[in-house]
A and B are shown apart, each in its own frame.
Chain A
Amino acid sequence: MREVLEVNGLSKRFGGFTAVSEVSFKLQEGEILGLIGPNGSGKSTTFNLIAGLHAPSGGSVRLHGEEIGGLAPAAICHRGIARTFQIPRPFRKLSLLENVAIAAFYGQDQKVSREKAYADAADALGLVQLPGGPDARVDGLGAAGLKKLELARALATQPKVLLADESLGGLDHAEMEQAADMLAMIRREKGITIIWVEHIMGVLMRVVDRCIVLDHGEVIAQGKPAEVAHDPKVIEVYLGTDAAEVQQTVADRAA
């Protein structure tokens, strides 16, 4: 397997506070990597560093061997990394199709025609099962629909790597299961490599190939779901009384 993304010694300090400290990991082509940890553990900051929203204080981010750390968000999108936001950020005045069409138009690496952008947008909306008609508006969408729109918008930029920030739920259990299935489906259909940020471990464990656990901005464990779920340090700082349940999920998956 080929390496897509390599994060090495990534750090971010906000004044005296170190949000992310020396985080390193590698992402293999086609895998789904879970990035998990309690609230405030630095998941979203790590994510924003890769997506270019913050410039790193130290360390490097390489996409296919090329350094992309510190590039602006738009440039990173053009390189092939798309993201969704924790709290959905739809463009409310635009139709669903327009929301996604501008992503297809401006986000792809090469210049595309308007017609192709609209066609790509319709595809992306179809993939996440949202209506692509000219009258479909953002206002009719619930929390799950808005999450799907985030995904469609990211996918329309034709990324190599998708950063899916799902950490601030708002979804019920069935909707979370659906979201997990959708990410699995996206990987299957499009061959996109995915980093999935989540703070509820249960659902994620069903789908990811590997996970990385962050606490206080540091990596405290990484490996396959089964290894991580039984890691004593992870159980201590993060899983606590939920450990048994998460371990059961992993066991069910293996069965």
Chain B
Amino acid sequence: MKYLLLALLAGTPFYGIGNYPLHLVIMCLLWGYVYTSWSIMGRLGLVSFGHGSFLGIGAYSVVMLWNHFGVSPWIGAVVGVVLSAVVAVIIGFPCFRFKIVGHYFALVTLALSEVTRLIIVALRDQTGGSLGATPNTALAQGNAWSFGALQFSDKIVWFYAILAVWLAGLWVWAKVDRGMTRLALEAISHEEEAAASIGINVTRSKLFVTLISAVMTSIGGALYAQYQLYINPETVSGISISLQMVFGVIAGGMYVMLGPTVGAVFTLLLAEGLRLALGDAFKQFPALDLAIYGLMLVLFIIHMPKGILGTAQEAWGRASRPH
């Protein structure tokens, strides 16, 4: 069943659905991957509002190194990963060591994503500030693709590249889900002192998932930059994108493997729907989408804490159980 669905998904570019729908599918997979990355720590009680930071570091590392120094995005992505890991440790270690949890952890990480956005804006001479940045094209003289510059004019290449990354993300999620680390972190998130008393190194366990999550998110940022060929501080860092990640994962379902991906589809459809429905009003109130996300987040947490997929699976389980 699941391989059949995967085969169906893999055939997407050949259904003649046109460029824009294919773009939407790619975006669903890319954000599905990023949300999955977030949920690896988010589902274990480490609710981060700082993932905009890792996304931004990943995206700006590739574009800045490429544009200013001609460094290949492949290397730029590695630099972004290393930088994200360093930032994750700098923020994570003191938080975990001194038991900053729950709302306080959320606040610290919220500040992190805003600080990252402000740094990007402040370095406007290098980053282009609020106007954003475009990677210099490597596709002049009729080249359709450049592997070294990680630029492809054909969406089909991107579709398969991002499909592979998304699958890899799901694989990591499942690996963590089945591991002892997950149980240890569930224990920590309920009873930190009791977890420590049975020999669990709380700081190390938390840092472990935080690093996985941050590194994966950073790769997502690099892919976003290379696929879209345009980034700005608002779309890859700051409060708005960080909140959107939290919202997407909670809406889709935090505790099931495909929950974050369902959340990404939902968020994307919601954003496109709002854009169409509200039209000009949307442009007049630039924070309107954020307000709507916030409102819906509250509604989801109250009425559907297991998210769309989690709730659907539960209902399916109830219906198929013999009476």
Give A residues with C-beta under 8 Å from B. 51, 53, 72-74, 77-78, 82-83, 85, 89-94, 98-99, 101-103, 105-108, 114, 117, 153-154, 156-157
Complex: A235 Cα to B186 Cα, angstroms = 46
A106–B193 contact, CB under 8 A?
Answer: no
Complex: A154 Cα to B186 Cα, angstroms = 18
- Which of chain A's residues have a CB closer than 8 A to the CB of B59? none
Complex: A24 Cα to B218 Cα, angstroms = 54
B191 within 8 Å of A by Cβ?
A: yes
A106–B190 contact, CB under 8 A?
Answer: no
| Contact for B194 among A85, A101, A108, A114, CB less than 8 A | A85
- Which of chain A's residues have a CB closer than 8 A to the CB of B180? 101-102, 105-106, 114, 117
Complex: A73 Cα to B200 Cα, angstroms = 9
B140 within 8 Å of A by Cβ?
A: no
A106–B186 contact, CB under 8 A?
Answer: no
Give B residues with C-beta under 8 Å from A. 180, 183-184, 186-187, 190-191, 193-202
Task: Specify the main secondary structure of chain A where it touches its partner.
Answer: helix
- Which of chain B's residues have a CB closer than 8 A to the CB of A105? 180
Given that A94-B183, A114-B180 are contacting pairs, would A102 and B190 also be in contact in the complex, using a CB cutoff of 8 Å?
Answer: no
B198–A77 contact, CB under 8 A?
Answer: yes
* Least CB separation from B202: chain A residue: A74
| Contact for A103 among B190, B193, B199, B201, CB less than 8 A | B199
What's the least CB distance linking A33 to chain B, in Å? 20
A92–B190 contact, CB under 8 A?
Answer: yes
- Which of chain A's residues have a CB closer than 8 A to the CB of B194? 85, 89, 91, 153
Closest 4 CB pairs of A and B: A107-B199, A89-B194, A103-B198, A77-B199
Task: Specify the main secondary structure of chain B where it touches its partner.
Answer: helix
B191–A106 contact, CB under 8 A?
Answer: no
Complex: A114 Cα to B184 Cα, angstroms = 13
Q: Apart from A77-B198, A101-B180, A106-B200, what 20 extra A-B contacts exist at CB < 8 Å?
A: A51-B197, A72-B196, A73-B193, A74-B200, A74-B201, A78-B199, A89-B191, A91-B187, A91-B191, A94-B187, A98-B183, A101-B183, A102-B183, A105-B180, A106-B180, A106-B201, A107-B198, A107-B199, A108-B199, A153-B198
- Please list 23 pairs of residues, one from A and one from B, whose beta carbons are closer than 8 Å in the complex, sorted by A's number: A53-B193, A74-B196, A74-B197, A74-B199, A77-B196, A77-B198, A77-B199, A78-B199, A82-B197, A85-B197, A89-B193, A91-B190, A91-B194, A91-B195, A93-B186, A102-B183, A102-B187, A105-B180, A106-B184, A106-B200, A107-B200, A114-B180, A153-B198
What's the least CB distance linking B99 to chain A, in Å? 12
Complex: A90 Cα to B194 Cα, angstroms = 8
* Least CB separation from B183: chain A residue: A102
Complex: A83 Cα to B194 Cα, angstroms = 9
A83–B186 contact, CB under 8 A?
Answer: no
- Which of chain A's residues have a CB closer than 8 A to the CB of B193? 53, 73, 85, 89
What's the least CB distance linking A86 to chain B, in Å? 12
Complex: A105 Cα to B201 Cα, angstroms = 12
- Which of chain A's residues have a CB closer than 8 A to the CB of B197? 51, 53, 73-74, 77, 82-83, 85
- Which of chain B's residues have a CB closer than 8 A to the CB of A82? 197-198
* Least CB separation from B205: chain A residue: A106
Complex: A107 Cα to B195 Cα, angstroms = 10
- Which of chain B's residues have a CB closer than 8 A to the CB of A154? 198
Complex: A154 Cα to B197 Cα, angstroms = 8
Given that A73-B193, A102-B180 are contacting pairs, would A91 and B186 also be in contact in the complex, using a CB cutoff of 8 Å?
Answer: yes
What's the least CB distance linking B191 to chain A, in Å? 4
Interface centre among A74, A94, A98 (most CB of B within 10 A): A74
- Which of chain A's residues have a CB closer than 8 A to the CB of B183? 94, 98, 101-102
| Contact for A73 among B184, B186, B187, B196, CB less than 8 A | B196
- Which of chain B's residues have a CB closer than 8 A to the CB of A85? 193-194, 197
What's the least CB distance linking B196 to chain A, in Å? 4
